[in-house]
Amino acid sequence: MKKVVFLDRDGVINFEPNDYTYQVSKFKILDGLFDSLSVLKQKGFEFIVVTNQGGISKGIYNHQDVSSVHEYMSSEFNTAGLDILDIYYCPHHSINENCICRKPGSLMLEKALAKYNINKAEAYFVGDSDRDIVAAERAGIKGIKIEKNDKLSNYLNQF
């Protein structure tokens, strides 16, 4: 069974400017992230990104914008010697529709848990909002809440 750290995107992986991040030119990896993930990789963890992208539902950006950002993000991870096992995103927003994939719903996590045979006892979800932690609890894994845009190294003792 796999050991996995699920990562929220905006505010955990990249700088969250309190606006939608959907352009590669505005996607800035947080300082020290790759050093922290390298420590977790040495402990046997793999990484999956789980992110709400409600700006699609609102018509602010589209699936191709998200794909471009995720391709760039994956490339930056690879350059740092890290791999992203998978990326899940919810394009819905509660102002336009109801869904069960948008966090705090746990469907994205549950799909990954089943697809990759992940050991729930060795799975963590790092997020910067209460909805991330609720999604983790609903999926039966431990949530680790960090401050938005904070260094992951400040939380490594929780793994």
**Which positions are catalytic?**
8, 10
The residue to which tokens 């990896």 are assigned? 29
Handedness of CA 84, 4, 9, 65 (dihedral sign): positive
Task: Count the Cβ atoms, other than its own, within 10 Å of residue 78.
Answer: 11
Residue 8 and residue 52: Cα distance in Å, rounded?
8
* DSSP for 35-73, written as a single string: HHHHHHHHTTEEEEEEEE-TTTTTTSS-HHHHHHHHHHH
Residues with Cβ within 8 Å of 108's Cβ and at least 6 positions away in sequence, in order, are 50, 88, 89, 90, 101, 135
Structure tokens at 86: 């998978």
Which residues face 95 on adjacent strands?
Answer: none
